[in-house]
Chains A and B, each alone.
Chain A
Amino acid sequence: MSTTLVLVQILNGLQLGILLFLIAAGLTLVFGVMGFINLAHGVQYMVGAYFAVAFYGLTGNFLAAMLLALASALVLGLLLEFLVFRHLYDRDHLDQVLATFGIILFLNQATTVIWGPAPLIIPQPEFLSGSIPLTDGLLYPVYRLAIIAAGLAVAALLWFIVTRTRLGMLVRAGATNPDMVSALGVDVRRLFMLVFGFGAMLAGFAGVLSAPIFSVEPGMGDNLLIVAFVVIIVGGIGSIRGSFIAALLIGLVDTLGRSLMTDILKLFMDASSANQIGPALASMLIYVLMAAILFFRPTGLFAVGRAT
């Protein structure tokens, strides 16, 4: 296990963390600001990827497909909010879970009907294809570096919006005390709708970015949703900063755990037991981490002080 290999794995971890952040950012806002549990957030990631595939088929250009997919993801998010979610804000969490779970089933099946069950894929954009040698013989794909860069850019943009603009101020206020914000004459419904659409678009963006490296298939968002929930819980619900730090942390822990755990175990047990236990232990790591953090900080790393 050389240092360059560890470096590559750190880059891989960052890249996974960035994708998680894009999904978790919307989820934490929706959960934090509206107190709304949206299980369908993972499907919005999937739908973003499918939109990218569809528009890539039409335009043949990755950037054009990305812009169209983002716009469509935003529209779909707003549409879902208008048709379904808006009617659930005042219901209890169980109703929200049931309804949004229904959306998962519906959209997963709808994509199967429209695009078929087989995995689809779009090629990486020409200008980002290829890989650069980090050291002798160790290559790293340019596209993955581009994902990291794009994610950092989005994080910076979000930071700017949330801390430096009026809209961001309302969002922060809404996360702390929605009733007071409403009493001060802010149209909270419209604020919610905006936050929701934006969150859906971010998830869609993650979907678009991952379309060229992961396969696009029905149900692709379901596993990521669980990890995204881990991220927002570790980061503190409602906190963008928390979800950014937590996403990178989870991405790094998961990736490094998967790549190093078996080798570490091999130091003090025989190879076949290490091969048995290593992968199992590695896939548990992020949940162990979550449990540990919740033990010491029950509201997450960067809890939003919520008025009760």
Chain B
Amino acid sequence: MKNRLILYTVLLAMTFSSCQRLDLEPKGILGETELFGNEFGVKKYFTALYNYLPIEDFVYYGNNNSSAYRPGNFWEACKFSQGNASGEFFNTWVGPTNGGFGYWPYDRIREVNLFINNFPTYKSNFSVATYNSLLGEASFLRAFFYSGLAKRYGGVPIIKEVQDPTADKATLEVPRNTEYDTWKFIYTDLKFAMDNMSATSERGRANKYVAAALMSRTMLYAGSIAKYTQYIGLGSEKAVQDGFAGIDPAKANELFQYAEDAGKFVIAGPYSLYNKEADKGLNFANLFLDISSPENIFIKDYDRTAPQNTRLQHSYDALMSPVPDFSSNVGTESFPPFDFMELYGMTPYVNPDGTPVRFNNRSDIKNGMEPRLRGTMYFDGDVLRGKTFGMQRGIYQTYTGTAADAQAGSNVAPINSTVIAGKTNRILGVRNSTTVVNGVTLPITAAHGSFEDGNAENNGFGAAFMRKYINTAVPVSDVNLYLSGQHWIVFRLGEVILNTAEAQYELGKRTEAFANIALIRTRAGATPAPAIDQTLINTGSINKVNTYPYSLEKSLQFIRDERERELYGENHWWWDLRRWRIQDQVLLNFRPRMLSCYFVANEGKYIYLDETNRLNRTWTASRASVYEPIPAGEIAKNSKLLPNNPLY
């Protein structure tokens, strides 16, 4: 009895005391104090945000419905890439899409807002410099998310507070801000970041120069939108009238000025154009592979040795070079059109009398080619992973006449279809095939570019292959899906110089702009830029048959082209076309061309002919694609997001 009484007493004591201990913070979960209260916690918190930044890199593809920036089946990124969807590359099936994927990162913005809101509580834990820098970094992250929104939708709701999910429905339904206010909000956040962040940071994290680089890009976008939206005839649309899509042209100079200022700030910073190699072509190619490049302002790291399924690898190498010589799986999914090679100025391949130039070797087409183009694409005779590229489209038994007689490669052109000695004058074939002409066995095609079917889809639709970002250091056996680890350069000095030059030209500072262009062209090994020419034109350099809805100075078009020459394949082209408001003209029945090499049998020489792409594919971007529609699901939740963007 006595024992039992003791037992009960002990039990009673235990039940009373146990509740106190359960009030302790759980040790397995990091709470706000752990995350915001010290530098390492903040780093951990920011890591997740960096992971979700809207960076259009190797794995991004805009028609992936779930999340284009962190897609599931991301090996497909290189075939559905933004470049393929916007005509910068071509392959067999991908066309322009503009439905968007419903990008709406307010969950991440909320996380940033939570930090900005609550971090001041822990101010005493940090030195002033560290505290300011971290707060600046948060502003940079928020601006980056908003820039992903603004370039798609124009004006979006600006949420600076941490919303309470249980609050009144009316306060949670935030209407759109104007496009000007949205870009201006990005400006304010980035200005704060530039003023408060430290000058250096560990790799993959932002500092004040990274913030300035983003400022340079975003304000250039905003300035162009302000200047050119007036010309596209959408003034009757409610979203335009209310300022949600488009900006008052009077604001253009203000925004261009921000871009110039930010650009100059970066140019004066600790970066320099990559110039480690004497061979300018190799130098340009290495710029994208050398992780220690002094040109890198901000990069996104990948690591081929990291555990699989971590999204820390990509498949760029396996999907940009032909199988089996350079890749062990899939093979090329993106071919560069001739239209873009032409931007660099090609070696003459047509004589003044209209006849094709005769070359002794296929690779003679590279003679006199701008080194930057050689650093951007692989041509016949170039070596990768111990093998040599060979690209030949076919044989002409004889070629008498002009280049135009081939009618862009048409099968019905007489020079192609005439039968001589039992064979058509133009002979095509599958990979590495041969034929006998006048008793001599000749190769019709080579191992890579431009052969007829027989796995051509992943090997031979174009007449050049991508070199930019191709990692030369790995053996072919290691070039496979999810095995590429080269970093993506988010911002580099070259882009900032081009942003600055364009902003300066738009501001009328033509000489300063061309001084910046000269820096780019010298590094590229290109000829000096032509003298400033203020003649007004209204056609561009790609798909010239369609004219712009406005005129611009010839030299401004040169700066735009310089941008594409330097930044080809770096996912700028689509956004540039959109902000210049010409995407529906440049991509109107845009039919990518290819420069095909033929052997002329009776002369023993090679000629190059300008042909349409093999499937006669065209690209047309819709009129509405100047903006993406506000996601329907978000409108269903919040009707104050209306009016929707023009033409939706």
Bound pair (A, B)? no
